[in-house]
Amino acid sequence: MSLDITFLGTGSAYPSPARGASALVLRREGQCWLFDCGEGTQTQLMRSHLRAARITKIFITHLHGDHFFGLPGLLCTLSLQSNPDPSRPPVDIFGPLGLRSFLRRSLELSHSQLLFPCTVHELVPTRDQCPPEEFKDFSGLDGDEAPLQGPPGRVLHLDPGEDSYLLVEDEQLVVRAFRLFHRIPSFGFMLEEKPRPGRLNVQKLKDLG
């Protein structure tokens, strides 16, 4: 399994001419996974060797603007570069509770319609992830509203046994989110490669001494 990382932005709070807001891309087996999407991420992508159309998963650490204000614009740009294809797998977006409502309102108010499916999976924070006075319960924001362009996403709760959230699992790897303490609920993401059994014929080696 080949992996490489490209930092698109490492700035904090606001972008500068030489340093974009938070965003990095993990490239894996021809796919691009985007971690955070600060303002100007799509411009940084255009300056890189990466192709935005290859983004299949997006992970948002927390809902401070410098980590996700670039997301509606990026999705709209991807839509302009897309052809309607109902069989296309959705772009999976993972982030804290409230992200789905933000994206729905942003797209609705700007009269934007995505030509590709995307699914938002929300992580439900625990109250000890931030100072008590900063915690807000966004569990009632969506109500019975329809999902974005695509299948409905999951609502992910903390697995007490693992002390983490299981996001993605396939034959090669597992992706989990874990809680971070910040001014608002925040998450880190861990990608763990699964053990790969060796191909040695142990018995034949023993027979050969």
Sheet holding 55-59, edge to edge: 3-9, 23-28, 31-35, 55-59, 91-96, 118-123, 155-156
Q: Which position among 4, 36, 66, 207 bears the catalytic label? A: 66
Q: From the centroid of its chain, how far is CA 104?
A: 16
The CA–CA distances, whole Å, from 49 to 24, 32, 45 equal 13, 12, 8
Give the list of residues 6+ apart from residue 19 with CB closer than 8 angstroms, or none.
Answer: 9, 10, 11
36 catalytic? Reply is no
| Active-site annotation, residues | 66
